[in-house]
Amino acid sequence: MGKKLTSRSEDYSKWYNELVVMADLAENSGVRGMMVIKPYGYAIWEKIQAELDKKFKETGHENAYFPLFIPKSYFSKEASHVDGFAKECAVVTHYRLKNDENGKVVVDEDAKLEEELIVRPTSETIIWDTYRKWIESYRDLPLLINQWANVVRWEMRTRLFLRTAEFLWQEGHTAHATKKEAIIEAEQMMNVYADFAENFMAMPVIRGFKTESERFAGALETYSIEALMQDGKALQAGTSHFLGQNFAKAFDVQFTSKEGKKEHVWATSWGVSTRLMGGLIMTHSDDKGLVLPPNLAPHQVVIVPIYRNDDQFDEISEKVAEMTKELRAMGVSVKFDKRDTYKPGWKFAEWELKGVPVRIAIGPKDLENGTVEVARRDNLTKEVVESDSIAEYVSELLKEIQNSLFTKAIDYRTEHTTKVDSFDEFKEVLEGKGGFIEAHWDGSAETEEEIKKLTKATIRCIPIDAKEEEGTCILTGKPSTKRVLFAKAY
């Protein structure tokens, strides 16, 4: 708390890194690229998990758990899949340590694995190897399974939550009898993610298709949700893949149809990760620290007592107990910060830094007047409220804050979404205010690559609601039928 947070305008990237640590969300560990998720950050992740898990179950999915290690040979069975992940695989080669002649702990060379094991970067291969045993007939389909797990991708340049060598995620893996069903599932899960992002994280997203070069390794179609951060850069917040029959063929997963015919199964996979924490932070937070939407705040309300002596403290505590009971009855989570080791001003600053949506301060004068002071974290306004009606007031206020954060983010995105029709304009916007750029593209991977090379901007997605519209590619002038969404991205 001693240090002051760097402002966003001064250095956005530094602001982010400092905020994550200072708000007690996460920190770097002694292991290269791997983070420690601190209790306050993990409490937010638990809320994300709980809500998503509920949504997955409501849409008919069950959880299961598959091995952390994948034999190298499995991994190689789907060619484009291994190409996509080979460069970032942590490899287990030995299974024992020993003391050498000097008493130093070393790897025991006699305990070398016959076949190396890959620490899962994603689980399609091990799961489809299992599905072969689970799927025999159309009666076994659809198979709708999700796994909450840790995965490892050996990233060279890492950033807390956004890109770490290990991250936590969920990965859904479903098997279907028909292509159509699998596509509907992949779309459904994109929509589940979008709904969660918008209604829980208050983070507006664009739904769309990835271009071929940005697809998941092994997918025929990748759907994604794309959010816009306050620095004008995009964040891919979740993806859902239609995998066709690629993994079913690689792992020989066939089912007997109603008509008695053997057919390969159709697949999807879909995932979101602790990366969402990065999106949450960068969508709402400000120069004073984290700003949390009420739906994901570990404490929605913090109550800070202001007192000079024990008698005052006791009287306040009594009133607080009453208010807390009323607030909890309305489903509001409350923390009474009664630490006597810190002063109120220090506590105010701490809870601002940690993004608690509503702060209530109560002192002897308030007790006399039957009031409390209510401060909103999102717009930093304060209001004096009658303590008798506090539960209804706060309950309404939390809804208002949730909505207001979403509206603010939508407004930001609207202001930072630009239609351009020439490459000069494209570059000008990119170097200026940034954000999403809607532009025509000729549909070729070469053009996409060239634009990326020239500007660092990538096609974030082809929005699912992109209108048919005659146009010409901003780079090549070739004809195009719809605008796609460009941005620089995390």
Interface with its own copies includes 255 (CB under 8 A)?
no
Q: Which of 16, 75, 200, 351 binds its own copies (CB under 8 A)?
A: 75
The answer to whether 161 contacts its own copies (rule: CB under 8 A) is no
Contact between 328 and its own copies (CB under 8 A)?
no
2 near 15, Cβ under 8 Å? no
Looking at residue 289, the DSSP 8-state letter turns out to be B
* Nearest distance from C-beta of residue 174 to its own copies, angstroms: 12
**Alpha carbon distance 85, 487 (integer Å):** 24
Q: Is 297 in the site for its own copies (CB under 8 A)?
A: no
Question: Cα torsion at 267, 273, 275, 279 (round to 10°)?
Answer: 80
CB of 136 to its own copies, least distance (A): 12
- For residue 478, the tally of other CB atoms under 10 A from its CB is 13
* Helix or strand run (H / E) with residue 66: none
- The DSSP H or E segment spanning 451 is helix 445-455
19-38 footprint of its own copies as x/- string (CB under 8 A):
--------x-xxx--xxxxx
Output the smallest distance, CB 147 to its own copies, in A. Answer: 9
The CA R_g of the chain, rounded to the nearest whole Å, is 26
Count residues binding its own copies (CB under 8 A).
63
Instruction: Choose which of 5, 22, 82, 374 interacts with its own copies (CB under 8 A).
Output: 82
Q: How far is the CB of 354 from its own copies (least distance, A)?
A: 14
| Chosen residue from 58, 105, 310, 431 binding its own copies by CB under 8 A | 105
- SS3 string, 175-244, reads EECCHHHHHHHHHHHHHHHHHHHHHCCCCCCEEEECCHHHCCCCCCEEEEEEEECCCCCEEEEEEEEEEE
Instruction: Give one DSSP letter per residue of 119-153, joined into a string.
Output: EPSS-HHHHHHHHHHH--BGGG--EEEEEEEEEE-
Decide: 401 and 294 in contact? Cβ < 8 Å: yes
212, burial (CB in 10 Å: exposed 0-12, middle 13-18, buried 19+):
middle
CA pair distance 368, 26, nearest whole angstrom: 42
Closest distance to its own copies from the beta carbon of 130 (Å): 5
CA distance 161 to 473: 35
Q: How far is the CB of 18 from its own copies (least distance, A)?
A: 16
Of 337-356, binders to its own copies (CB under 8 A) are 341
Name the segment binding its own copies (CB under 8 A); options: 99-107, 315-323, 345-353, 450-458: 99-107
Q: At its nearest, how many Å lie between its own copies and the CB of residue 87?
A: 6
Nearer to its own copies, 32 or 456 (CB): 32
**76 lies in the binding site for its own copies (CB under 8 A):** yes
- Which tokens sit at 49? 């998990």
Q: Pick the closer one to its own copies by CB: 95 or 422.
A: 95
Q: How far is CA 211 from the centre of its chain?
A: 21
Q: Could you say which of 20, 117, 280, 398 contacts its own copies (CB under 8 A)?
A: 117
Q: Does 323 bind its own copies (CB under 8 A)?
A: no
Pick out residues in 165-204 that bind its own copies (CB under 8 A). 166, 168
* Nearest distance in Å: CB 82, its own copies: 6
Q: What DSSP designation does 355 have?
A: T
In terms of Cα–Cα distance, which of 365, 376, 283, 299 is closest to 332?
299
Q: Write the single-letter amino acid at 288.
A: K
Position among 7, 11, 136, 139 found at the interface with its own copies (CB under 8 A): 139
Q: What are the structure tokens assigned to 270, written together?
A: 């879909």
**Per CB under 8 A, 145 contacts its own copies:** yes
Tokens of 445: 């991977």
Closest approach of its own copies to the CB of residue 29, in Å: 5
Tell me if residue 270 falls in helix, strand or coil: strand
Is residue 133 involved in binding its own copies (CB under 8 A)? yes
Using the contact rule CB under 8 A, the part of the chain among 7-15, 81-89, 280-288, 319-327 near its own copies is: 81-89
* Selected binder of its own copies within 74, 161, 196, 270 (CB under 8 A): 74
Determine the interface stretch with its own copies among 90-98, 235-243, 318-326, 464-472 (rule: CB under 8 A). Answer: 90-98
Min dist CB 101 to its own copies, Å, is: 15
* End-to-end CA gap in the chain: 28
CB distance 129 to 247 below 8 Å: no
Question: Which tokens hold the place of 488?
Answer: 């620089």
- Answer for which of 78, 124, 129, 378 binds its own copies (CB under 8 A) is 129
> Of the two residues 90 and 489, which places its CB atom closer to its own copies in the complex?
90
Of 95-103, 202-210, 279-287, 310-318, which segment contacts its own copies by CB under 8 A? 95-103
Of these, 12, 59, 84, 154, which contacts its own copies (CB under 8 A)? Answer: 154
Asked if 487 and 437 count as a contact pair (C-beta separation under 8 A), the reply is yes
Closest among 175, 215, 236 to 84, alpha carbons compared: 215
Q: How far is the CB of 150 from its own copies (least distance, A)?
A: 6
70 interacts with its own copies by CB under 8 A: yes
Contact, 283 vs 338, CB < 8 A?
A: no
Q: Where on the chain is the footprint of its own copies (CB under 8 A)?
A: 27, 29-31, 34-39, 42-43, 45-46, 62-72, 74-76, 82, 86-99, 104-105, 107, 116-119, 126, 129-130, 133, 139, 145, 149-150, 152, 154, 166, 168, 341
